[in-house]
């Protein structure tokens, strides 16, 4: 049986054969995706770390693993400290670690398909300061020693019908072409898998919980395009759908095809395109301009069909979640219910609706102290029961052909403490403050973030994640460019048609966690006498809040009216879809607070 110790030893032997003294191992694929296929889980294979974000650097005599604040506990549980030093990214960047630990003469390898050009340039400079060298490898060193590495997935492509897409792929390509002409570019490369899926109105099954296919694309200023995808993924229906203006070539033909862009002006997204693409275009003699993928903003602003689809998806998803909350309330206090069983029950309830295609991410099913880990992922090893006197946090979502959902609710198992009630109510007040916000066009999510934190801040506490992220339309559950966050959120103004999450929280380490998450649609607001064009939010998610955790004495009259009004909408939208027993339960949960 292979251990992580002998895997690390095998990697070092392979590096020696290549004349390398080190290697960088990120969680990444050739498209810099947030979630990657099993074949790209190189960090997990090497270290045992199962989080969704992290990297390692292996040198001849030491190794380190880098994670952010979400995973400081998890990394210690899963990674042997005798093999890898734990390095918080808040304290030391990977390039900073290279600068501090590389030795003169070191040759540290990296896979240029798994890093941005900016990272590669920074790492090269950091190593050079110590007389070391960063080397872009030909073939990933992990792949050479991972004997049972999974193959790249071979799921078939699927057409996203126009009734849900709302706009043909010809029209989308025409919009991209118009942008290219306006900017003076001949072509743009699309590397993000959700951008490719959206642009061509196709979906796939290559990445768990995200309906995308592994592919590359090139769109030209005349509106024609080339899709690079494995031949066996195509069906006759997809070929017919793509039509004559989209050429289809093999996935492995992509790099060589970039040579055809010699002398052409090409827009490349520096955040989404790996360093290897820049290198290939440089070698081809293309004129590269760093520009954001033009489909990113187009995709973020939902058209009417996508908005209507989201509303429909949310309405049916609310039924499953409501039934689940009732089941949790009836089952957990009896004892014996664990996190894995609870998550499986929610998947079962969602699956009773034939419209469900998949879940939108691995359910965060977190009891007691696990709720204090915002991105906790339950495993057989970490699984624990939902105990009396604790809180249970469930963050989950579904993928439906007409929309993607993401919702978090907290349930009190038995009687909650006064502290739990106080913190939940403070989080709820922040959630309401953001939900009812009205703001002028041009406002960024960063400018709104403090609204959700103000009541926690007033009590000297906070939460360590952003308040909101964008959400796709039967695509990625995390979608840019908009965010509601103090960090990284100031750059992108919110626009009507964008969908965001509203998810403030509170986390007491070792005890409990709270998060209340709904999705909201940015919409135009008409205000009598307004001197500016204004925007606000329409709530899209409908499922009851936890009454036992709300202290009405801490709510203003307006906040209590919001809760009562929200629950009235939940009852009106979800109630008619329930059977008698479930509807009676929901009526009790949605009764006015007063």
Please give the pLDDT value at position 533: 96
Given the structure tokens 């998947």, which residue do they identify? Answer: 347
Report the pLDDT value the prediction gives residue 74, as an integer from 0 to 100.
82
**Predicted local confidence at residue 486, as pLDDT:** 84
Contact 499, 540 (CB under 8 A): yes
Question: What's the alpha-carbon Rg for the chain, to the nearest Å?
Answer: 25
CATH of the domain at 465: 3.90.230.10
DSSP conformation class of 61: S
Helical (H) or strand (E) element with 253: none
SS3 state of residue 366: strand
Task: Tell whether 412 and 306 lie within a shared domain.
Answer: yes
Residue pair 436/563 in contact (Cβ under 8 Å)? The answer is no
Residues 399, 521, single domain; the answer is yes
Same structural domain for residues 346 and 437? yes
Helix axis angle for 580-589 and 304-331, nearest 10°, is 90
Question: What six digits make up the tokens of 15?
Answer: 């590096």
Q: In this structure, are 449 and 552 located in the same domain?
A: yes
Instruction: Output phi, psi for 304, to 5 deg.
Output: -65, -40
How many angstroms separate the CA atoms of 434 and 448, rounded?
Answer: 7
- At 296 the three-state DSSP class reads helix
Q: Taking the CB of residue 520, how many other CB atoms lie within 10 A of it?
A: 22
Q: In the prediction, which pLDDT does 213 show?
A: 97
- DSSP of 412-455: EESSPPHHHHHHHHHHHHHHHHHHT--EETT-BHHHHHHHHHHH
Verify that 361 and 239 share a domain, yes or no: no
> Can you give the CATH number for the domain in which 123 is found?
3.40.350.10
**pLDDT for position 489:** 45
Domain that holds residue 183: 158-299
- 492 vs 297: CA distance, rounded Å: 10
Q: Which of 590, 586, 567 is nearest to 576 (CA)?
A: 586
Quote the CA–CA distance of 171 and 248 in Å, as a whole number. Answer: 19
Both 99 and 236 in a single domain?
no
For residue 447 the two structure tokens come to 């400018």
Provide the number of structural domains found in the chain: 3
Q: Rounded distance, CA 228 to CA 217, Å?
A: 6
Q: Are residues 205 and 136 in the same domain?
A: no
Bond from prior residue into 48 cis (ω within 30 degrees of 0): no
Are 235 and 342 in the same domain? no
Identify the helix (H) or strand (E) that includes residue 409: strand 407-413
> Which two three-digit tokens encode residue 586?
């929901």
* pLDDT number for residue 68: 86
Splitting the chain (594 residues) into consecutive groups of 10 residues, what average pLDDT does each group show? 91 97 97 94 95 94 91 87 93 94 97 97 96 96 96 95 98 98 98 98 96 98 97 96 96 95 97 96 96 98 98 98 98 97 98 96 97 90 96 98 98 98 98 98 95 98 94 97 78 95 96 98 95 97 98 98 98 97 97 92
**Is the distance from CB of 85 to CB of 65 less than 8 angstroms?**
yes
Same domain, residue pair 247 and 310: no
Last residue of a domain, one of 234, 264, 299: 299
* Contact between residue 360 and residue 473 where contact means Cβ atoms under 8 Å apart: no
d(CA 167, CA 172): 7
Write down the pLDDT at residue 51. Answer: 86
Helix (H) or strand (E) holding 135: strand 133-136
Element containing residue 544 per DSSP (H, E)? none
Task: Please give the pLDDT value at position 417.
Answer: 98
């Amino acid at each position: 049986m292979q251990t992580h110790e002998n895997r690390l030893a095998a990697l070092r032997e392979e590096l020696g054969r290549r004349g390398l003294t080190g290697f960088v191992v990120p969680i990444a694929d050739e498209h810099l995706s947030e979630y990657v296929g099993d074949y790209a889980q190189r960090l997990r294979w090497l270290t045992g770390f199962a989080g969704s974000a992290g990297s390692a650097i292996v040198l001849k005599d030491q190794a380190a693993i880098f994670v952010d604040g979400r995973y400081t506990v998890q990394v210690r549980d899963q990674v042997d400290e005798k093999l890898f030093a734990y390095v918080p990214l808040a304290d030391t960047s990977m390039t900073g670690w290279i600068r501090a630990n590389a030795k003169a003469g070191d040759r540290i390898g990296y896979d240029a398909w798994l890093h941005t050009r900016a990272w590669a340039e920074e790492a090269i400079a950091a190593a050079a300061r110590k007389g070391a060298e960063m080397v872009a490898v030909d073939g990933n060193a992990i792949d050479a020693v991972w004997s049972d590495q999974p193959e790249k997935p071979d799921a078939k492509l699927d057409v996203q019908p126009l009734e849900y897409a709302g706009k043909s792929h010809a029209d989308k390509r025409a919009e991209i072409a118009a942008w290219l002409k306006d900017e003076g570019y001949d072509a743009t490369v699309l590397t993000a898998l959700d951008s490719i899926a959206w642009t061509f109105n196709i979906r796939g099954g290559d990445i768990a919980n995200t309906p995308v296919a592994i592919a590359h694309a090139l769109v030209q200023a005349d509106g024609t395009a080339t899709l690079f995808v494995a031949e066996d993924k195509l069906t006759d229906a997809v070929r017919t759908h793509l039509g004559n203006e989209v050429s289809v070539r093999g996935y492995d033909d992509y790099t060589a095809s970039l040579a055809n862009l010699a002398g052409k002006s090409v827009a490349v997204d520096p955040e989404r395109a790996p360093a290897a693409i820049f290198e290939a275009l440089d070698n081809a003699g293309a004129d590269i301009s760093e520009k954001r993928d033009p489909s990113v903003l187009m995709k973020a602003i939902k058209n009417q069909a996508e908005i209507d689809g989201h509303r429909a998806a949310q309405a049916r998803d609310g039924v499953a979640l409501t039934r689940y909350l009732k089941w949790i309330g009836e089952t957990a206090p009896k004892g014996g219910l664990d996190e894995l069983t609870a998550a499986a029950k929610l998947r079962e309830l969602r699956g009773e609706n034939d419209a469900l295609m998949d879940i939108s991410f691995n359910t965060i099913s977190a009891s007691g102290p696990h709720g204090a880990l915002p991105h906790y992922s339950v495993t057989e090893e970490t699984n624990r029961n939902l105990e009396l006197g604790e809180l249970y946090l469930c963050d989950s979502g579904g993928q439906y052909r007409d929309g993607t959902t993401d919702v978090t609710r907290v349930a009190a198992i038995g009687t909650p403490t006064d502290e739990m009630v106080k913190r939940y109510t403070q989080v709820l007040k922040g959630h309401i403050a953001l939900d009812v916000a009205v703001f002028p066009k041009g406002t960024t999510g960063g400018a709104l973030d403090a609204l959700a934190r103000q009541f926690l801040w007033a009590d000297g506490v906070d939460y360590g994640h952003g308040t909101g992220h964008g959400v796709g339309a039967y695509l990625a559950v995390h979608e840019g460019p908009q965010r509601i966050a103090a960090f990284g959120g100031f750059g992108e103004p919110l626009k009507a048609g964008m969908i965001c999450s509203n998810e403030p929280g509170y986390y007491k380490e070792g005890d409990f966690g709270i998060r209340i998450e709904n999705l909201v649609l940015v919409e135009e607001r008409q205000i009598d006498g307004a001197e500016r064009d204004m925007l606000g939010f329409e709530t899209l998610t409908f499922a009851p809040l936890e009454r036992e955790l709300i202290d009405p004495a801490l709510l203003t009259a307006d906040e209590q009216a919001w809760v009562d009004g929200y629950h009235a909408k939940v009852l009106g939208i979800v109630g008619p879809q329930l059977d008698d027993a479930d509807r009676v339960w929901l009526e009790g949960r949605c009764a006015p607070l007063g």
